[in-house]
Copies of this chain bind each other. A is one copy, B any other.
Amino acid sequence: MRLRTLIRAALPVLLFVSAASAQLQRKQLPVPNVAGYRTLKCDFHMHTVFSDGMVWPVVRVLEAWRGGLDAISITDHDDYHPHDPHVSTDISEPYRLAQARAEELGILLIPGIEITKGEWHFNALFVTDFNSTKRLELAAALREARRQGAFVFWNHPGWKRPEQWFPEIAPLHAEGLFQGFELVNGRTVYAGGFAWMAEKNLAVFANTDIHAPMTESEEDGRAITLVFVRNVDSAGVREALAARRTVAWMGGELWGQEALLRGLWEGAVRLDTPALALTQKQRSAALRFRNSSALAFRLRPAGWPSWLSAREIEIKPMQAAAATVSLAADAPAGEQSLTLDFEVLNCHTAPGKNLVVRLPVRLKRL
């Protein structure tokens, strides 16, 4: 992709006429809609040169388009500005500067900031006054965000010390000052906090917290927060976050409420072989799955009859998979209507607990 000419297109016409007809590519990253909701692929934690990031704001929009995202929030630090005095510290500018390109490309740009007080960082989305929390202490800043109607989540809860429900955090939550947390930040999973999703009624997030430019190889398996919206607009995202309808997705793994993960599975994968016909001497047959999504799934047979077995099955994004099921010598003759349970090893519904799916399969031995 040649970003240069496109970026120039926003500049004075006389200088850059030739850039007028450049072109951008976007991978589509299909993820199924669930239960009547539209599924949006989002990243709510990104930086630019306006705090400690390495890129101009519009780059985040172009990266989002290229990578298949639907919504992003640029969240520069309120109180950390290592590029000062070379770069303005007005953190409303990234939103303002990126807005036109976001509209043109159909990327939802959510206003946001990172409230940054020592080691405690919280992202506030939907703020209306970007610079209002500067130099406030943590609780005061969070109260200011609440006053503006922001949705607030706690960032990288295990940064520098293992994640736990810290004494500094508990009162903030008790006061209703935040409603979500980053289960995933970059490539790091703060698994120790996964129970909070249910126990504390918090929305889970997977964000990149990206500072440098995003390379193509970093795009593979990058952190994405799936948000299940009624309407594809800013208010829709907000309603979905408030209702905790999010799934954290990174590196092929998914974390979220069981109903949402089940919906993703059901929308993504289809069994092409609901009926298997074998001759009497055949001892194996192929189960064929078709995955129309960018999600991956790993299945492990669970509770199968003793005469039937299969290994773990990996269903790759946008691929079909043919997995062999084997019959033991004592497999019953004739026709069977089976329900085969699979544990979906990469779909996590609670600490130590994965999604289980059931597939009806008819087995006929001729």
Chain A residues within CB distance 8 Å of chain B: 1-4, 6-9, 11, 13, 15, 17-18, 20-28, 49-50, 52-56, 58-59, 62, 65, 80, 82-83, 85-88, 90, 93, 97, 104-106, 159-160, 186-187, 209-218, 272-273, 283-286, 288, 290, 292, 309-311, 313-314, 316, 318-326
In angstroms, how far is the closest chain B Cβ from the Cβ of A210? 7
In angstroms, how far is the closest chain B Cβ from the Cβ of A156? 11
CB pair B65–A54 under 8 Å, yes or no, is: no
With CB as the reference atom, state the residue of chain B lying closest to A62: B212
Give me 13 other A-B pairs in contact (C-beta within 8 A), A1-B217, A15-B80 excluded. Answer: A1-B215, A2-B186, A3-B212, A7-B211, A22-B324, A23-B321, A28-B318, A49-B87, A55-B213, A56-B83, A59-B213, A62-B212, A318-B318
Indicate how many identical chains form the complex. 4
CB pair A186–B106 under 8 Å, yes or no, is: no
CB pair B86–A4 under 8 Å, yes or no, is: no
Please, could you name 13 A-B residue pairs with CB atoms under 8 Å apart, sorted by A? A4-B211, A4-B212, A18-B159, A18-B160, A20-B283, A20-B284, A21-B324, A23-B323, A23-B324, A49-B49, A49-B56, A54-B58, A55-B59
CB pair B1–A218 under 8 Å, yes or no, is: yes
The complex places the Cα of A20 from the Cα of B313 at a distance, in Å, of 13
Q: Of A22, A54, A217, A311, which is in contact with the most chain B CB atoms at under 10 Å from its CB?
A: A54
Q: Of A23, A88, A97, A325, which is in contact with the most chain B CB atoms at under 10 Å from its CB?
A: A23
A324: B residues at CB distance < 8 A? 6, 9, 20-23
The complex places the Cα of A320 from the Cα of B7 at a distance, in Å, of 18
CB pair B286–A105 under 8 Å, yes or no, is: yes
A87: B residues at CB distance < 8 A? 49, 86-88
Q: Given the known A-B contacts A28-B320, A213-B213, A217-B216, are A7 and B54 also in contact in the complex, defined by CB atoms under 8 Å?
A: yes
The complex places the Cα of A17 from the Cα of B159 at a distance, in Å, of 11
The complex places the Cα of A333 from the Cα of B17 at a distance, in Å, of 21
CB pair B285–A104 under 8 Å, yes or no, is: yes
The complex places the Cα of A212 from the Cα of B186 at a distance, in Å, of 22
The complex places the Cα of A233 from the Cα of B85 at a distance, in Å, of 32
In angstroms, how far is the closest chain B Cβ from the Cβ of A31? 14
